Amino acid sequence: MASDGPPAAPTTTAVAALEGGALRYAEVERTADGRTSLRRLGTCDFDFDVGEAVLGVTGPSQLDTVAAALREVFRSGGARTLVVVAHPPALVSFFSPLPEEMPAPARYEQLRQEAALLADVSTAQPVRIRAVPVRMETLPGPPERGGGPHRWHHVVHVAEPVHARLALLARAVGSGTYDLVDATQAAAAAVHGLLAAGTPAPRGAPGGAPFALAVGAYAAHAEFALCHDGAWHHGLHAPGGAPEDAAYFALALLERLGVQPEDVGRLFVYGDADADRHAVLAALLDRAPEPLDPLPLFGRRPDGVDPAELAAFAPCLGAVLR
């Protein structure tokens, strides 16, 4: 049978993940049949907080320096979209359940009003949001009292100064659009990819447990991505740098969602902190921590590199696996 035309050209996505003084970047090409190839991966180090430079709404900004670095990194690319990955402490974000039968325009307006309230912005002003459907849940009670099938959404508020900065960075890499992604959503996508690829579980991990937990440990905070059957179920972040803090908030998240610790079959870890940050939680869950290394999903397995170091790129690369 004759073809209807030439195959669609591959699309290219540029990714910039912001954390402290580091900007981790990637460039990924995706073909029409869904295959991905990693064209570029690395880190730019700055002597200032790059997240604050891009996402901060007050104070001085070194945005021109960030834009120049991205322009240099992606100078030979042709990215259609710039995806900026931010860690939850830098975002105004929340989860919200809405009735499944609510029409899409009403759903968007409801989430926009909730974002305006949390961000302390007048609804008369432009309120930009990024809303992602996450999971379904049937809430108790009749529909007139808020019961029935609801779809949870994760919402990120994009302040007008932040929108202007992200649009400038998108132009710097030659892209017409940008997307802003929560790091826990990106980490959950990396978990989904590894589970779908059949990454073997550590010895002793229970078979059939429906949940997986990914924990990102950073200098001043920990973040948690809970997955159910490989799909993003919920995200949370908490301050504190002690191993006990990560364990406390992880178990509090499970309790809040009605998940038993024994239902967590895999414990993935990523971030900048060393393995000791996960020791208490690993002992409480009785699960061996696994570095959330997404490189094998792109056909890469660098020799002689600690997978824990590669796991620092989990949010960066997970953002293109959503």
What tens digit of pLDDT does each residue of 281-298 get? Answer: 999 999 999 999 999 999
Residues ≥6 apart with Cβ < 8 Å to 308: 269, 275, 291, 293
| Confidence class for position 97, pLDDT limits 50, 70, 90 | very high
Instruction: Give the separation between CA 115 and CA 126, rounded to whole angstroms.
Output: 11
How far apart CA 67 and CA 151 sit, in angstroms, is 37
How high is the mean pLDDT of the chain? 92
How far is it, in rounded angstroms, from Cα 44 to Cα 22? 6
Q: Is the pTM of this model over 0.85?
A: yes
Q: Which superfamily is assigned to 185-318 in CATH?
A: ATPase, nucleotide binding domain (3.30.420.40)
Answer positive or negative: Cα dihedral of 30, 163, 50, 91. negative
Considering only CA atoms, which of 158, 198, 182, 163 is closest in space to residue 318? 182
Residue 34, pLDDT score: 79
Interaxial angle between packed helices 63-73 and 160-172, expressed in degrees from 0 to 180 and rounded to the nearest 10: 30
List the domain boundaries for the chain.
185-318
The pLDDT confidence band at residue 241, using thresholds 50, 70 and 90, is confident
Q: What would the mean pLDDT of 211-225 be, rounded to a whole number?
A: 95
CB 261 within 8 A of CB 282: no
